[in-house]
Chains A and B, each alone.
Chain A
């Protein structure tokens, strides 16, 4: 009993790792998000990172971060309510608001923290939260912490959502929660229709644009631009650690909401603020996105097209992805990990999704062709897929 009993319960089944001599998770990477990427002294084609626009290791971003470190040091060692609210925090918050077209913004040390911190601040047990079946773990965690009624709706299914809204009665408030780009399979929410339904039923729309910001919309401003949603009245959250190539997350919306969260969102108030260095990086990335989105975006869609065509020709089963994400159907846990290993053994780093990140038997191997990859790298990836396909035949 006691410690022995406690630690004996903390067991991860690593039998498949032992059998395959492979673990796709926690690979120790010895380089930045460069092309190639280096793991255990071996060069890899990186199709695993969410570095869509390829800016994470961009010289200009690195220089901006260095300059910010020179000015502010490593950390402000305090929450934004104390010493963490530096001028660059305010500048980047304002810049993000402008970028996504909303009134105000608060920035969190992580997107996960933004999502988990949001709901306890705005919802209560008397509310109803209706959420897409496939929303991210951070949203589920945040929603579940309220103890209110939760009603999931079938993935991206407007009719199902409408039925649930129609039946909902007796709640203080109704929130409808979804994501823009569902990153495991690359589907995009019909958010314009969801927003309309929310107006119709007096519900409050909450959107997580983690994989949409910097990726979709004609100038990369995310889901609101993609779906031409003007004067969005709901709540918008997003990540700074994907296309925006830094770390952190943020919530944007009406001034009243942000002012309220600044004082009553525990995930913000009781956490050391995001590092100024990161904000320096975001500041620079936003400038680059304004200038270079079109060329970078064109590249990732072109890469997606050629990779998808090749994979289909090679007989891989793919999800119908609407985003610049390629999602290989892996099936069960074991077959998904084996597919990722096959790619790894041939020099491609991918992201295998296994339950509970995806539904049972819904394993996926995700490939994200980022804009920093050279054309020669993509050609090499095509050759690798063909080689793997031929090996499958024999």
Chain B
């Protein structure tokens, strides 16, 4: 499983609706994720990757790809050691 796939699978189990998710999925329009829903996803990411995400870090995030890029930029090598994700 790639890092991208891991993020998508985490989102899948932390949203209310069963919906197809891709890197291009818009968090608001396609996945109907509100601020409390986003918090649920951030908490899941924190748990899985043992990181602490600051409140401001996910500001301006619109798509699943944005989450992946943001995490990679801020946490270089994230997921590689624990899960061998790339």
- Establish whether residues B47 and A360, one from each chain, have CB atoms under 8 Å apart when the complex forms: no
Given A133-B37, A155-B16, also A359-B32 (CB < 8 A): yes
CA distance A355 to B47 in the complex (A): 28
CA distance A362 to B34 in the complex (A): 10
Closest to A358 in B: B34
- Which of A151, A153, A154, A360 is within 8 Å of B33, CB to CB? A360
- Establish whether residues B34 and A154, one from each chain, have CB atoms under 8 Å apart when the complex forms: no
A43 CB to closest chain B CB (Å) equals 37
Query: What residues on B are CB-neighbors of A140 within 8 Å?
Result: 36
- Establish whether residues B47 and A359, one from each chain, have CB atoms under 8 Å apart when the complex forms: no
CA distance A153 to B32 in the complex (A): 16
Q: Is B23 on the interface with A (CB-CB < 8 A)? A: no
Q: Is A150 on the interface with B (CB-CB < 8 A)? A: yes
- Establish whether residues B16 and A360, one from each chain, have CB atoms under 8 Å apart when the complex forms: no
Given A154-B16, A155-B16, A167-B47, also A360-B34 (CB < 8 A): yes
Q: Is B82 on the interface with A (CB-CB < 8 A)? A: no
Interface residues of A in 119-135 (CB under 8 A from B): 131, 133
- Establish whether residues A362 and B35, one from each chain, have CB atoms under 8 Å apart when the complex forms: no
CA distance A359 to B43 in the complex (A): 19
- Establish whether residues A360 and B29, one from each chain, have CB atoms under 8 Å apart when the complex forms: yes
- Establish whether residues B34 and A153, one from each chain, have CB atoms under 8 Å apart when the complex forms: no
Q: Is B85 on the interface with A (CB-CB < 8 A)? A: no
- Establish whether residues A361 and B39, one from each chain, have CB atoms under 8 Å apart when the complex forms: no
- Establish whether residues B47 and A133, one from each chain, have CB atoms under 8 Å apart when the complex forms: no
- Establish whether residues B36 and A152, one from each chain, have CB atoms under 8 Å apart when the complex forms: yes
Query: What residues on A are CB-neighbors of B2 within 8 Å?
Result: none
Given A154-B14, A154-B16, A155-B16, also A359-B33 (CB < 8 A): yes
- Establish whether residues A152 and B16, one from each chain, have CB atoms under 8 Å apart when the complex forms: no
- Establish whether residues B32 and A133, one from each chain, have CB atoms under 8 Å apart when the complex forms: no
CA distance A362 to B39 in the complex (A): 18
Q: Is A41 on the interface with B (CB-CB < 8 A)? A: no
Q: Is A170 on the interface with B (CB-CB < 8 A)? A: no
Closest to B34 in A: A359
Interface of A is mostly: loop
Interface string of B23-51 (1 = CB under 8 A from A): 00000110011111101100100010000
B82 CB to closest chain A CB (Å) equals 16
- Establish whether residues A359 and B40, one from each chain, have CB atoms under 8 Å apart when the complex forms: no
B84 CB to closest chain A CB (Å) equals 23
- Establish whether residues B43 and A133, one from each chain, have CB atoms under 8 Å apart when the complex forms: no
- Establish whether residues A356 and B16, one from each chain, have CB atoms under 8 Å apart when the complex forms: no
- Establish whether residues A154 and B35, one from each chain, have CB atoms under 8 Å apart when the complex forms: no
Given A151-B43, A154-B14, A154-B16, also A133-B33 (CB < 8 A): no
- B15, B16, B28, B35 pick with most chain A CB within 10 angstroms: B16
CA distance A154 to B18 in the complex (A): 12
- B15, B33, B37, B47 pick with most chain A CB within 10 angstroms: B37
Closest to B41 in A: A152
CA distance A362 to B30 in the complex (A): 11
A96 CB to closest chain B CB (Å) equals 30
Query: What residues on A are CB-neighbors of B15 within 8 Å?
Result: 154
CA distance A167 to B16 in the complex (A): 21
A59 CB to closest chain B CB (Å) equals 43
- Establish whether residues B16 and A359, one from each chain, have CB atoms under 8 Å apart when the complex forms: yes
- Establish whether residues B28 and A133, one from each chain, have CB atoms under 8 Å apart when the complex forms: no
Interface string of A336-360 (1 = CB under 8 A from B): 0000000000000000000110011
- Establish whether residues A133 and B40, one from each chain, have CB atoms under 8 Å apart when the complex forms: yes
Query: What residues on A are CB-neighbors of B43 within 8 Å?
Result: 151-152
- Establish whether residues B35 and A356, one from each chain, have CB atoms under 8 Å apart when the complex forms: yes
- Establish whether residues A133 and B16, one from each chain, have CB atoms under 8 Å apart when the complex forms: yes
Closest to A132 in B: B36
CA distance A153 to B28 in the complex (A): 18
CA distance A153 to B40 in the complex (A): 7
- B interface, CB within 8 angstroms of A: 14-16, 28-29, 32-37, 39-40, 43, 47
Closest 7 CB pairs of A and B: A359-B32, A152-B40, A359-B34, A360-B32, A360-B28, A152-B36, A361-B32
Pick 16 A–B contacts, CB within 8 A, sort by A.
Answer: A133-B16, A133-B36, A133-B37, A150-B39, A151-B40, A152-B37, A154-B15, A359-B32, A359-B33, A359-B34, A359-B37, A360-B28, A360-B32, A360-B34, A361-B29, A361-B32
